[in-house]
Amino acid sequence: MAKAFQKPKALFDVPTHYCPGCTHGVIHRLVAETIDELGVRGRTVGIAPVGCAVLAYNYIDCDFQEAAHGRAPAMATGVKRVRPDLMVFTYQGDGDLASIGMGEIIHAANRGEKFTTIFVNNAVYGMTGGQMAPTTMPDQRTTTCPAGRQTNDVGMPIRVAELLSALVTPAYITRQTVIKPKFIKRTKKAIKQAFTYQMEKRCFSLVEVVSTCPTNWGMTPIQSIKWAEEALLPYYPLGDLKTPETDEK
Amino acid sequence: MQSEVMFAGFGGQGILLIGKILAYAAMEEGFEVAWIPSYGPEMRGGTAYCTVVISDRPIGSPIIKNPLHLVAMNRPSLEKFSNIVRPDGVVLINTSLIPIGSGRNDVSELKVPAVEIATELGNVKAANIVALAAFVARTGLVSTETLKKCVKQEFAKKPKVIDLNMKALEEGIRAAS
Amino acid sequence: MAKVLMKGNEAIAEAAIRAGCLNYFAYPITPQSEVAEYLCWRMPEVNGVFLQGESEVAVAYMIFGAAAAGARVFTTSSSPGISLMSEGISYLAGAQCPAVFVNIMRGGPGLGGILPSQADYLQATKGIGHGDCRMLVMAPATVQEAAEMVMKAFPLAEKYRNPVMILGDGLIGQMMEPVEFPDDLKSEPTNKDEWATNGMDHRKSKTRNLVRSLFLDPVVLNNNNLVLKEKYEKMKDEILFESYNTEKDYRILIVSYGTMSRVCRTAVDMLADEGIHVGLIRPQTLFPFPEEAICKAVTSSGCKLVLSIEMSMGQMLEDVQRSVLGACPVEWYGKCGGEVPTPEEIIDLIKARMASL
């Protein structure tokens, strides 16, 4: 009998260090499935961020580099420029990509570097213990804004996908989420699409994945899904913001 | 035996270029050479100068406090540098733009109306080559034949201006005699 | 190839290509921007990679990414830019990736100036990045030597799997001198399949490689640092220096490197013409430092005083002091605002110190 469900080859069969209810595991799996389905594991290089996913290489089985905080797009640029035949993806969180690494992601996207970025946005710093992120919502409480994010003091959260979509260089920029199964399927499709654009050497691609962090949000996994749906998704709407096809029109 | 030549003028007069051509010519003749530019903000529109060191042994300090010779292409350059030239050096004065002398009686002044000569040849831009040729003809630091070869080489990618510069060279040599 | 007259910056650029390095990432900064201006047209001629990054920070990680993917790669910058790259250099050292960094120094601190200086001696030799991180540092005194050191730097970086720095000053970058690129310094990039993330398909082993500097287990991290320490010790095999006039009987020994050493050499020659002999040792590698050579030059002569002459405020002094092992006093002389001391100044200094010995 054929197996109806199995672990992707590009995923190690090990328990992760992620907290209960964290969606990194799901997103890792989607990346691994994509690598399997495209048959590119032997020429894929992942770039791990600084953040909760710093140990992504313990779970995804392909060549991996470990970047400094925010610098994954610069490293991916270095790899891709000297080895255009390799498939390269960065896997970054909101503090990594949208705060310390904003310069690197904008310039890599604007140069049209032919790599893929998986941008996991859960509106908080995870690994350092729940500090305010550039994507933290107004009035959302974190350890560095215990009274909630004061937008008159630190501004509104940054919509990374929209910001990058404003660049004129053709790119694939999309926002998805993994908080429900139907969304997971769409996220998988988007990740595969992003890798495909890269394979075709067409453009830079970024998949923003709205995600949860029950631990640092101080919620149960169920509560966090509800909060993500009610608080995050209205501000971070899902869908493709930019595709090379629309750019070509 | 070591000679140092300071070339000085306005930015845009081709000062660094004639220094480089002289350095090339001296290298071709087997000398040790170094070309030291001024660089930085002073490159932008103000005074440009460079020093060329020509020696028969490895060049030590590239920092020359008192050069043996000076090629002054504008008045501020002459005023600024005429006093640092060593006795018995040559001071070339581009009389087209400099109405004064060096004020020195221990140097050999070479007065060349480089701009007028170049204008008569059809292009004021060749004034630098006129001055270089005159200076080389007077000092004999390199042979005029080597200089010709190096000027040709320098403009190899711009064949249109080779003729002009070869004429400038001839006129410069004549002006020094 | 025949000698050509080139600016130091251009010679450094061409030397990298001649050494088989076809990948360059950089950000413009005076006084070394000619390297990028040269390579932006020269790299495409040899099917190489040229990219102007958005900052020195990004460039350091482009270098890291490319090096980690197994490519021979280099960058050039100047003092403030190197400060921005220093984080990345530490990552490269921690992850044991080879790359070449050229620092054409300008005066500091802060924005400082753009004229020749040797103000980054301590940064290069002792504090290039956080953590237990060192790198081989070579300091050229001529354009020819700059070219040769660049060519030698790539195989050395690969031999030690560590960044290597060429530390020049603005004059080395801006000055034109005759240069030739010795064929015997060409080298083939080493095989990096054992560790590089160059794609599993590319390698016989078909197992994946990780390039990382994070070792959360204290024992593992300590062991990694011991491996690095051993490499830094082993780098002593690469020590290079030049002795000048040390066969004579001298009472003063000068230690000086780079452009400053050329000025000192002229001063030594001029003093010799007057019958005054001064020894000169010119370190060509600054890390590791030629301690033994300096020690020997002091103890095997009638040397009464050592002068560390630098275009920095005594940054090399401590290295010279520890080299002489207390055998005689060591004093500093230098300038660090962009002025290069003249031979005359050095001569006056020597004569004044001579009188009091």
- B20-50 confidence digits (pLDDT tens): 999 999 999 999 999 999 865 544 556 789 9
Per-residue DSSP letter, B105:
S
C-alpha to C-alpha distance for C12 and C146, rounded to whole angstroms: 6
Q: Is A39 exposed, middle or buried (CB count within 10 Å of its CB: 0-12, 13-18, 19+)?
A: exposed
pLDDT tens across C8-17, in order? 999 999 999 9
How close C348 comes to chain B (CA, Å)?
15
Write down the pLDDT at residue A74: 98
When pLDDT is cut at 50, 70 and 90, the band that residue A248 belongs to is: low
Tell me the per-residue pLDDT of A111-122, one tens digit each, with 9 for 90 and over: 999 999 999 999
Task: Identify whether residues C51 and C110 lie together within a single domain.
Answer: yes
Query: Around C184, how many Cα atoms within 13 Å sit in the side-chain half-sphere?
Result: 0
- In total, how many domains does chain C have? 2
Whether C213 sits inside 8 A of A66 (CB atoms) is: yes
Mean pLDDT of the C325-341 span: 94
Give me the domains of chain B, ranges plus CATH numbers.
Answer: 2-176 (3.40.920.10)
With beta carbons less than 8 A apart as the criterion, state whether C260 and C309 touch: yes
Give B155's DSSP letter: T
Indicate whether C54 and C145 sit together in one domain. yes
Query: Which tokens belong to A76?
Result: 């991916």
Contact criterion met (CB below 8 Å) for B166 and B152: yes
Interface confidence (ipTM) of the complex: 0.96
Do residues C290 and C241 make contact, with C-beta atoms less than 8 angstroms apart?
Answer: yes
CB contact under 8 A, B62 and C259: yes
- Condensed to tens digits (0 to 9), the pLDDT of residues A49-65 reads 999 999 999 999 999 99
| Model pLDDT for residues A74-95, shown as the tens digit of each residue | 999 999 999 999 999 999 999 9
Chain A residues touching C23 at Cβ < 8 A: 81-82
Is C68 close to A86, i.e. CB distance below 8 A?
Answer: no
C-alpha distance from residue C267 to each of B3, B64, C304, C355 (Å): 17, 13, 19, 17
Main-chain dihedrals φ then ψ at residue A122, nearest 5 degrees: -120, 20
Using CB atoms, pick whichever of C115, C175, C266 lies closest to residue B35. Answer: C175
Contacts of A78 in chain C (CB under 8 A): 25, 61-69, 73
Closest CA to B25 of B137, B150, B136, B111: B150
| pLDDT at res. A4 | 80
A partners (3+ CB pairs within 8 A) are: C
Instruction: Show the tokens assigned to A232.
Output: 């995050």
Structure-token match 């000698």, residue found? C3
Give ∠ CA C101-A105-C208 in degrees, rounded to 5: 70
Question: Containing H/E element for A15?
Answer: none
CB contact under 8 Å between B60 and C176, yes or no, is no
C118 alpha-carbon distance from chain centroid: 11
Q: How far is A186 from chain C (nearest CA, A)?
A: 28
| Nearest CA among C62, C44, C42 for reference residue C52 | C62
pLDDT digits (tens, 9 = 90+) for B82-94: 999 999 999 999 9
b (16+ CB within 10 A) / e for A107-116: bbbebebbbb
Neighbours of chain B (3+ CB pairs under 8 A): C
C173 and C269 co-located in one domain: no
Is residue A95 a contact partner of residue A51, using CB atoms and an 8 Å limit? yes
Of C231, C233, C238, which Cα lies nearest the Cα of C139?
C238
Task: Give me chain B's average pLDDT, please.
Answer: 94
pLDDT at residue B1, rounded to an integer: 86
Closest alpha carbon to C136 in C102, C104, C186: C102
- The residue among C187, C222, C237 that closes a domain is C237
* Same domain membership, residue C139 and residue C76: yes
- Report pLDDT for B42: 47
| Cα distance between residue C90 and residue C75, in whole Å | 15
Residue of A nearest to C89 (CA): A68
Average pLDDT, stretch C234-257?
Answer: 97
CB contact under 8 A, C62 and A75: yes
User: Are C167 and C70 in the same domain?
Assistant: yes
C200 and C328 share one domain? no
Task: State the residue range of the domain holding C314.
Answer: 240-355
Same domain, C216 and C95: yes
Instruction: Determine the straight-line distance between the first and last CA of chain B, rounded to whole angstroms.
Output: 25
Same domain, C248 and C151: no
DSSP state of C340: P
For residue C269, which residues of chain B lie inside 8 Å, CB to CB? 60
Residues of C in contact with A68 (CB under 8 A): 61, 87-88, 91
Q: How far apart are CA B68 and CA B72, in angstroms?
A: 13
**Helices marked H in chain A — which ranges?**
24-38, 72-82, 94, 102-111, 151-154, 160-165, 181-199, 214-217, 221-227, 233-235, 244-248
Measured between alpha carbons, how far is B113 from B127 in angstroms, rounded to an integer? Answer: 9
The string of pLDDT tens digits covering residues C274-323 is: 999 999 999 999 999 999 999 999 998 899 999 999 999 999 999 999 99
d(CA C134, CA C286): 11
To probe the interface with C, which of A66, A99, A127 has the most C CB atoms within 10 Å?
A66
Please, which residues have CB within 8 angstroms of residue A65's CB and are 6 or more apart in sequence?
A45, A46, A47, A48, A75, A79, C64, C65, C68, C69, C197, C210, C211, C212
- CATH code for the domain of C167: 3.40.50.970
Average pLDDT over residues C7-28: 98
Let me know whether C57 and C164 are in one domain. yes
Give pLDDT tens digits for A99-110: 999 999 999 999
Which residues of chain B make contact with C176, given a CB cutoff of 8 A? 20, 23, 33-37
For chain B, say whether C177 makes contact (Cβ under 8 Å): yes
Bridge partner list, C163: C99
Query: Mean pLDDT, chain A, as a whole number?
Result: 96
Chain C residues whose beta carbon lies within 8 Å of the beta carbon of residue B20: 5, 176
Nearest Cα residue in chain C from B27: C178
Cβ of C265 and B62 within 8 Å?
Answer: no
Residue C260, min C-alpha distance to chain B (Å): 8
**B156 touches C at CB < 8 Å:** no
Candidates B35, B41, B61; nearest CB to C262: B61
Whole-angstrom distance, CA of residue B116 vs CA of residue C57: 52
For chain C, say whether B87 makes contact (Cβ under 8 Å).
no
Mark which of C209, C237, C265 sits at the end of a domain: C237
B43-57, C11-25, C167-181: range with lowest mean pLDDT: B43-57
d(CA A118, CA A17): 19
Co-location of C212 and C248 in the same domain? no
CA distance C311 to C261: 10
Residue B156: exposed, middle, or buried by beta-carbon count in 10 A (0-12, 13-18, 19+)?
A: exposed
CA distance B112 to B96: 8
Contact C178 B20 (CB under 8 A): no
Of C207, C237, C267, which closes a domain? C237
Q: Where are the alpha helices (DSSP H) in B55-161?
A: 75-81, 114-121, 127-139, 144-154
Distance CA C356, CA C20 (A): 53
Instruction: Give the CA count within 13 Å in the CB-facing half-sphere of A211.
Output: 29
What are the start-end ranges of the E strands in C61-98?
A: 74-77
- Residue keyed to tokens 């290509």: C17
Distance from CA of C211 to the nearest CA of A (A): 5
Give the integer Cα–Cα distance in Å for A50 and A61: 18
Give the tens place of pLDDT for each residue, C206-219: 899 999 999 999 99
Which residues 24-63 of C have a C-beta within 8 angstroms of B? 30-31
* CATH number of C297's domain: 3.40.50.920
State percent of chain A over pLDDT 70. 98
Provide the residue type at B149 as one letter: K
- Distance, in Å, from the CA atom of A69 to the CA atom of C28, rounded to the nearest integer, reads 23
Domain chopping of chain A, boundaries: 24-248
- Across the interface, whether the CB atoms of A77 and C65 are under 8 A apart is answered yes
**pLDDT value at A249 more than 70:** no
CATH of domain A24-248: 3.40.50.970
Q: Do chains B and C touch (3 or more CB pairs under 8 A)?
A: yes
**By the 8 A CB rule, do B166 and B148 touch?**
yes
């990028």: which residue's tokens? C36
Determine the residue type at C229: K
Q: pLDDT tier at C1 (50, 70, 90 boundaries)? A: low
**CB neighbourhood size of A144 (10 A):** 16
Q: Are C204 and C188 in contact (CB under 8 A)?
A: no
Interchain CB distance below 8 Å, C176 and B32 = no
Contact A63 C200 (CB under 8 A): yes
* Backbone dihedral angles phi then psi of residue B125, each to the nearest 5 degrees: -65, -20
> Residues A41, A46, A48, CA angle at the centre, nearest 5°?
150
